[in-house]
Amino acid sequence: MMRYALTRGRVFDGERMLEDHAVLIDGGSIESLLPQQAVPAALPAYDLGGGLLVPGFIDTQVNGGAGVLFNDRPDVEGIAAIGRAHRRFGTTGFMPTLISDRRAVMERAIRAAREALESVPGALGIHLEGPYLNRARSGIHPEAVLREPESDALDLLTGLGRDGVTLVTLAPEVTPPGFIRRLHEAGVLVAAGHTAATFDEIGAALEEGLRGFTHLFNAMSPLTSRAPGAVGAALDDNDSWCGLIVDGHHVHPATLRVAIRAKAPGKMMMVTDAVQTVGARGHEFELLGQRIVREGGKVSSPEGVLAGSDLDMASAVRNSIELLGLPLEESLRMASRYPAEFLGLGTRLGRVRAGYDASLVLLDEGLNVRQTWIDGRPDPAMPFPISG
């Protein structure tokens, strides 16, 4: 891997927009961010053509892509296919997400995620969404596999090790006292989702180490006048993060605007919750033995139950501007910097800064993806000339 520059573009460094600046990359890292005129003349360069260079998008909840559902392909090849599909839309870091499944499938998925850390560009770990969920809020998750934690669940959920990030979505009310604390102390990130927990039950979970809320509003106890529920607890807490699916189907835009204003700054992040439809053709698919239909930008069962999404991160950024009225800068932070901080990776991802990983996205005026870099390497599927 060589030393080169990214020149003649605007740069969003994670905090502010910079004109007439260039980014120097050495190997897989950002060497410096400097004025355009300071770039050494002999250094090979990518001409960005006036495009916008931003930190790479990070998706903490991606179930599938390119026709592949992680549950159906819990192996390295499946993770790689999902990563390639979402990279086209600016995702340079992702957490392959396993929907509630049998123990054997969970074990295979964790082994695959451990191997993918070494071989799949952008793979950051694993997100286990279930199976320790509340049947009353199961959504599309098969009730037959939902269960309380097994006696050795801690060993299972820490199987990835410390080299990658493990995120577990669970319903606090179906787990025994102290379970969340033990996961937290073992380095596992814990999020509440598919939960009927009360405000007080969520409060107890936050004290034990609960770190986030999976697809806020969806499949969780709502905020009402005398029962704040999981949603109320999420918005009331200043230290946890919330994942938002900004597709215009999962949550009404007005509800998202209110929630963003209510939550502490920097704690709302975009997720796709994408299933295998992203980057794939067709209208009908299968999800864990259930028929699902893609139509009008959403994915649901024939009965109308939402079954993940057909969303990609670049579309989520555009939607946050068009549907929610958010500034471009904040929309970009919600797609990169905030999820990096949630995952504990904020010292190397989510900004364009010296010493950070060279994981970047080039956007055109319409915020469409023109190129991505992961650890300094451009996407070979998106040819981009280098000069010098």
Q: Given the residues 237, 273, 310, 357, select the one marked as catalytic.
A: 273
Domain covering 3-54+350-387, topology: Urease, subunit C; domain 1 (2.30.40)
Q: Is the pLDDT of residue 238 over 70?
A: yes
How many C-beta atoms surround the C-beta of residue 100 within 10 A?
26
pLDDT at position 386, please?
Answer: 57
Tell me if residue 239 is catalytic. no
Q: What are the helix (H) ranges across 144-285?
A: 153-157, 179-185, 199-208, 229-236, 253-262
pLDDT tens digits for range 100-141: 999 999 999 999 999 999 999 999 999 999 999 999 999 999
Distances from the Cα of 219 to the Cα of 138, 149, 323, 381, angstroms: 7, 20, 22, 37
pLDDT tens digits for range 17-57: 999 999 999 999 999 999 999 999 889 999 999 999 999 99
Q: What are the helix (H) ranges across the chain?
A: 76-87, 103-119, 153-157, 179-185, 199-208, 229-236, 253-262, 313-322, 328-335, 337-342
Classify residue 387 as exposed, middle or buried by CB count within 10 Å of its CB (0-12, 13-18, 19+). Answer: exposed
pLDDT tens digits for range 292-312: 999 988 999 998 898 999 999
Average pLDDT on 241-252 reads 97
Where are the chain's structural domains? 3-54+350-387, 57-342
How many C-beta atoms surround the C-beta of residue 26 within 10 A?
14
Average pLDDT on 163-184 reads 97
pLDDT at position 164, please?
Answer: 96
219 is in an annotated binding site: yes
238 is in an annotated binding site: no
pLDDT at position 289, please?
Answer: 85
Q: Is the pLDDT of residue 288 over 90?
A: no
pLDDT at position 382, please?
Answer: 84
CATH architecture for segment(s) 57-342: Alpha-Beta Barrel (3.20)
Residue 227 has phi, psi (to 5 degrees) of: -135, 90
Coil, strand, or helix at residue 271?
A: coil
pLDDT tens digits for range 60-91: 999 999 999 999 999 999 999 999 999 999 99
Q: Is the pLDDT of residue 1 over 80?
A: no
**Residue 313 confidence class, pLDDT cut points 50, 70, 90:** very high
129 is in an annotated binding site: yes
